[in-house]
Structure 1
Amino acid sequence: MITLGQKKKKREFPTAFTVLFIILVFAAILTYVVPSGRFSRLTYDDTTNEFVITDQNDETTMVPATQKVLDDFDIQLNISKFKEGVIKKPIAIPGTYTQIEQHPQGLIDVIKSPILGVMDSVDIMIFVLILGGIIGLVNKVGAFDAGIEALSKRTKGKEFMLVVLVFALTTLGGTTFGLAEETIAFYPILMPIFLISGFDAITCIAAIYMGSSIGTMFSTVNPFSVVIASNAAGISFTTGLTYRIVVLILGSIITLAYMYWYAAKVRKDPKASLVYDEEPAIRARFLKDVDTEGTIEFTFRRKLIIIIFSLSFIVLVWGVAFGGWWFEEMSALFLGVSIVIMLISGLSEKDAVNTFVDGAADLIGVVLTIGLARAINIVMDDGMISDTLLYYSINLISGMNGPLFAVAQLGVFSFLGFFIPSSSGLAVLTMPIMAPLADSVGLSREVVINAYNWGQGLMSFITPTGLILVTLEMAETTFDKWLKYIMPLMIIMGVFSVVALVIGTFI
């Protein structure tokens, strides 16, 4: 019985940490239930011009790197793919799956895995911390405040164009060079702009996260998914390119229409926002240093800082797309820009350094989420159940024909994408085995490539072991709110992918 003055405590959805830990425990339980097993792996050693065969017991054998060896192993790839460096990662050898001694992950393994996850993800974590520091500096000097005020005046009455622009740019990045983890850098910058423009946090997340997700799902020339998958399947990535571009455009239009419907509903009635109850906390975090009254002058110093800060993102995109950059180079870029901003900020040395440190501290929760997400993959890898799940999936679709085969492949890759969030890792593991199955049912191998892209991409909308929980932690939003928003769109895109796949079998 509730007495006068008491309020019934509202049940809250668990934080990202708790959700990830529950999944971590579930993954550990799976290592007791799912049999451990492995495929033999083949790797090319360019220093000796030999193939290194690693069996289920981690014993290695060196054999000459010849086409005959590939044919003997039923690996339907040309030897040039290895010698030219197109395929660098170990690939699974068809027909070599063997069940091995069970490797259950116990309590000690579960407790250790987040520590190992942090150690394995330290490059991403450093990037996020430096990003937090530079955001703190730009906020401190009022550059964001003045910039947001100037932008809001220019976009008044055309606010949804901001959503379209951000979505289009992140989609383009996703479909061309696999823009994904790099989007973490966008939330602290764009969230205040979206909030000031009248959108809620969900719309900002969707514009950034779904932009990159739709781009990577419907990849056209992404080297980390469609290109590496096509190479591992033994076909050119240009095969079916025109059709993939058409599907990308249609998928983007569908997603933007859904985002517009939600944004318009919230603009009409703010209480319709899925994060309406959390809005004060979200605004407190992202607008705490922002002058919403628009009284800060856009001085030359602030303009210069905004220009330098914006140029750093252009350099980042260039480095990732064309310079072979990864988190080490991206972190170095932002650290260098941070130092430049400190020098021209007008802040004292002590104030500048403390501001940078405080900004980094604001994102500690985000970096710990990254480590915990990686821990799940570590438990599954150490439990050696990923290959078993692939083996079961192969047996499930064997014997299917035509469109049914294509749709089943989509389901299989969605399932595997939950457990293997790495697009390149999933491609190299599965394609040498999955692609030849298309030959047996009279379909083009590009159908398998599309099923792989669209299936894993569809699952990435909600995969906790991927980027979504890190994104939600960054945006002060819980997983249940995201699920309420994304599930209708996920169903729509699932149906769209099935239809596109079926049509693709007749082209």
Structure 2
Amino acid sequence: MTKKTFSFPTAYTVILIVMLIVLGLTYIIPAGKYAKLQYDPQSNVFLVESPRGELTEYEGSQKTLDDLRVNIDYSRFKDGSISKPVGIPGTYEQLPRPSTSVLGAFTTFFKAPVQGLYDSIEIIAFVLVIGGLIGIINKTGAFTAGINALSHKASGKESLLIIIISTLVAIGGTSFGLAEETIAFYPIIVPIFIAAGYDALVAIATIYLGSCIGTMASTVNPFSTVIASNTAGIDFTQGMILRFVMLIVGLIICIVYTIRYGEKVKKDPSSSYIYDQKEELERQFLSNNKDEDAPKFTLSRKMILIIFAAAFVVMVYGVKELGWWFEEMTALFILVTFIMIFFAKLSEKEFVSEFMNGAADLLGVAIIIGLARGVTIIMENGMISDTILNSLSSSVARMNGVVFSTFIFFVYIVLGFFISSSSGLAVLSMPIMAPLADVVGISRDVIVSAYQFGQGIMSFITPTGLILASLAMVNVTYDKWLKFVLPLVIIIGILAIVMLAIGVLI
């Protein structure tokens, strides 16, 4: 009889389980609401809705915010950085629980994810268009050709290759969440590093750590920074400087860590954590390395990468200076997709097919966004969101801002293990976590950074992420990776706590 091994459920199942638990909690947790404040830019007034639904109009000014003890700068409402309703501290009121039959609960459970999909349609459309564009770029071989060209130029200077590849992969991670696409790089990089006297762990670290630190310190990544900031009710450019500094410092630490290990292996091959696999890996990668099969880095492929990178620069400018949001950003990437027609060298049928395949690859992300939003909808309809927030507020109200940011960082480390989807975790958690920043008196972008750092650091080691697939590419076991990477995870974790503290204090 074959013994069944435990397999951790997918993000879809985790969120459905969370949805079921939350539905049960609506029968246990008391219902209640805060008064909500929202700015009306056309009339330049604040509209305040009481817990029982009565609307009151207030003057649009900093004095109104101060009188209501809303610790937010008035300019952030004026410039549109905060567009969602904000809970007013000290106004929580317990309300009668909505009466729901068993049939009603059953209906709510199955309607919530559908409503979540409807409510998230702008984000979903954006994700699918980005996925389609990435699918086309992958088909052209532009990413792989760029890495291959670098490998040739840095031949004999492999430490320089570590720096360049890690940096480029990190840029991809911080800008558009480059992760799964890096799987294609291993067959190119591993033979070069093994031939140079390094081991396969150096190749994995060069690519995987670059991707991890890039996504952990995302600056304009639409799948984490943009969605999380939008859900938190702020502009995604807020906190960008802090995350950019985290990216630079974290990347330097990862590169130095990898180079030090690599040079140690070069001097003494027996110091390698995978020394027992040395001969096996040399036979596998050095004998089957066919350089002629790699795509060439042609002018058209260079132009594809340049245009793709430029699109993110335009996106940041549009959001920051022109007031763009998901509709305009999606239109931008549709425009970029049309421009790619002239450089991709694909037939019309191939182009459309690869766009659809790329969008299909991210359909799961889109569904997770809808499911996660469904959890929030159940909480809102059951009126327990504000009750939970009120309870958490009582716990953190006396916390120092630095202690609070550290606390939230560790909360997201735990959440990041169970929910590996950055978009899903953002939509699921931000409606609860972001308002806590107002209670403590810090900027909401610190919560967004804590979410990114906490979930991001889990990607270095969590078996529910991409690491097992990456290790499988080079036949390295998970325990050897942990032995290699855990000291680095501790260092990066300390750095993240320090950076969050700086974000609180500046």
Same fold (TM over 0.5): yes
5+ long unaligned stretches in structure 1: 3-7, 174-178, 274-279, 281-290, 436-444
2:166 maps to which residue? 164
Contact 2:397 2:439 in 1 (8 A): no
The one of 203, 208, 212 aligned to 2:211: 208
1:293 maps to which residue? 290
Worse-matched range after superposition: 126-135 or 29-38: 126-135
Compared with structure 1, are the counterparts of its residues 487 and 374 closer, same or farther at alpha carbon in structure 2 (3 Å cutoff)?
farther
**Deviation of the 1:318 alpha carbon:** 0.9
**2: CA distance between counterparts of 1:264 and 1:54?**
63
Tell whether 2:454 aligns with 1:459.
yes
2:373 maps to which residue? 374
Tell whether 2:51 aligns with 1:56.
yes
Compared with structure 1, are the counterparts of its residues 352 and 37 closer, same or farther at alpha carbon in structure 2 (3 Å cutoff)?
same
Percent sequence identity is: 31
2:107 maps to which residue? 108
Structure 2: which amino acid aligns with 1:213? M
Compared with structure 1, are the counterparts of its residues 39 and 216 closer, same or farther at alpha carbon in structure 2 (3 Å cutoff)?
farther
1:192 maps to which residue? 184
**Deviation of the 1:306 alpha carbon:** 1.3
Contact 1:16 1:469 in 2 (8 A): no
**1: CA distance between counterparts of 2:115 and 2:204?**
32
The one of 70, 78, 103 aligned to 1:75: 70
The one of 402, 406, 421 aligned to 2:426: 421
1:407 maps to which residue? 403
1:172-183 mapped onto 2 (5 Å cutoff):
182-183=176-177
TM-score by length of 1: 0.66
Contact 1:213 1:461 in 2 (8 A): yes
Contact 2:144 2:184 in 1 (8 A): no
Worse-matched range after superposition: 121-130 or 251-260: 251-260
Contact 2:31 2:97 in 1 (8 A): yes
Indicate the SS of the match to 2:42: coil
Tell whether 2:422 aligns with 1:430.
no
Compared with structure 1, are the counterparts of its residues 154 and 359 closer, same or farther at alpha carbon in structure 2 (3 Å cutoff)?
same
Superposed CA offset, 1:284-339 (max 9, x none): xxxxxxx972325866xx72431232123222221232111544444434434444
1:350 maps to which residue? 349
Compared with structure 1, are the counterparts of its residues 338 and 33 closer, same or farther at alpha carbon in structure 2 (3 Å cutoff)?
same
The one of 89, 94, 108 aligned to 1:94: 89
Tell whether 2:30 aligns with 1:25.
no
2:387 maps to which residue? 388
Compared with structure 1, are the counterparts of its residues 454 and 489 closer, same or farther at alpha carbon in structure 2 (3 Å cutoff)?
farther
TM-score by length of 2: 0.66
Superposed CA offset, 1:35-77 (max 9, x none): 3322111122232232200121333222333555434323355
Superposed CA offset, 1:321-377 (max 9, x none): 211154444443443444444455554433443344344434433433343333333
Contact 1:74 1:94 in 2 (8 A): yes
Indicate the SS of the match to 1:106: helix
Indicate the SS of the match to 1:96: coil
Indicate the SS of the match to 1:323: helix
**1: CA distance between counterparts of 2:243 and 2:48?**
35
1:285 maps to which residue? none
**1: CA distance between counterparts of 2:352 and 2:243?**
48
**2: CA distance between counterparts of 1:210 and 1:23?**
28
Structure 2: which amino acid aligns with 1:211? G
Indicate the SS of the match to 2:38: strand
Superposed CA offset, 1:109-152 (max 9, x none): 22223323333333444344444444444455555554443233
**1: CA distance between counterparts of 2:106 and 2:396?**
35
5+ long unaligned stretches in structure 2: 191-199, 278-283, 416-423, 473-477
Indicate the SS of the match to 2:179: helix
**2: CA distance between counterparts of 1:330 and 1:272?**
50
2:9 maps to which residue? 14
2:475 maps to which residue? none
Compared with structure 1, are the counterparts of its residues 431 and 309 closer, same or farther at alpha carbon in structure 2 (3 Å cutoff)?
same
How many equivalent pairs are there? 444
2:194 maps to which residue? none
Indicate the SS of the match to 2:97: coil
Indicate the SS of the match to 1:197: helix
